Amino acid sequence: MAPIVREVRATGASWCYKAACDHLRGAGLSGLVAEHGAEEKSIQRWCGAEPFACDGQGVFTALSRAIVYQQLAGAAADTIYGRFLGIFGGAPPTPEALMAHGMAIRSAGLSQRKAEYLLDLASAVADGRIDAARIPTLTEEELQEMLCGVRGIGPWTVDMFMMFTMKRPDVLPSGDLGIRKGAKVHFELGSLPNATELATLTERWRPYRTLGCWFLYKVADQAKPDKRKPKPKAKAKAKAKAKATAEAVRKREPDASAGAATPPAKRRRAPALKEEEEEEEGAARRSPRRPSRRASA
């Protein structure tokens, strides 16, 4: 492993990336540290960015982006967030600017619920329910209590805020599916670990569980099946299904001798999109309609 002496400029107190790698190497992650610790992508992720400006605007920008991205696929979330910024000239809005727009922010493709969440967040930052000046000194439990008082912000969002925005060194997002999947593979478990099991398994990683969890994300990504190459069983199943479909179609063909045709099958109606996230993804995919010639005449 190449020498690493870079500093992680976290909110509150910085920590040493090399010291974290050395600790995790001795805590059962030597293979993962050797494989991912010296990756330039990992080093840049933790050591390359400027320290987070933990003021009212910085906190509001980070949390509002987290709310927009909740329960959405990456591409759809990127599109909607880009439109959201576009409402404010391409830059993150202040809490006051967002409140002035009100529910008009839904024009970005946001669901009504998420728009309400964003407005509540703006109000909380403006009226002091979220006190940015106190955040660097708060314990994890105190920060959870403060931020989870805002609609739309739960423990997972706070964990991601502490881990990736504040870069605190010892965060364990025990409810994160990617981390649980990575732990299942790394520790060779029969099922996904629950919060208590994950805390026990990672106890040796303290005080650098943040970086250990980053390596578990890497493990989970590598364990994903290649969707471009279907497995033999899947291919055989698809072939059998196609054969059965062809046979069913052949049986429904008109009987020439009887002079009667089989009535066409009724077309199924697509189920209505009920989830607001589906509504948002649909909005993200829609392109603006072109004006008709009649309208432009």
First and final CA of the chain: distance in angstroms?
68
In terms of C-beta density within 10 A (0-12 exposed, 13-18 middle, 19 or more buried), how is residue 19 classed?
A: middle
Cβ(273)–Cβ(282) under 8 Å?
Answer: yes
**Considering Cα of 152, then 76, then 54, then 47, what sign does the dihedral take?**
positive
Cβ(191)–Cβ(184) under 8 Å?
Answer: yes
Overall size of the chain counted in residues: 297
Any catalytic annotation for residue 78?
Answer: no
The per-residue DSSP string of 111-135 comes to -HHHHHHHHHHHHHHHHTSS-GGGG
Distance CA 54, CA 42 (A): 23
Which entry of 131, 159, 176, 226 is annotated as an active-site residue? 176
Q: Which residue's entry shows tokens 């009887």?
A: 258
Token pair belonging to 290: 């072109």
Mind telling me the catalytic residues? 176
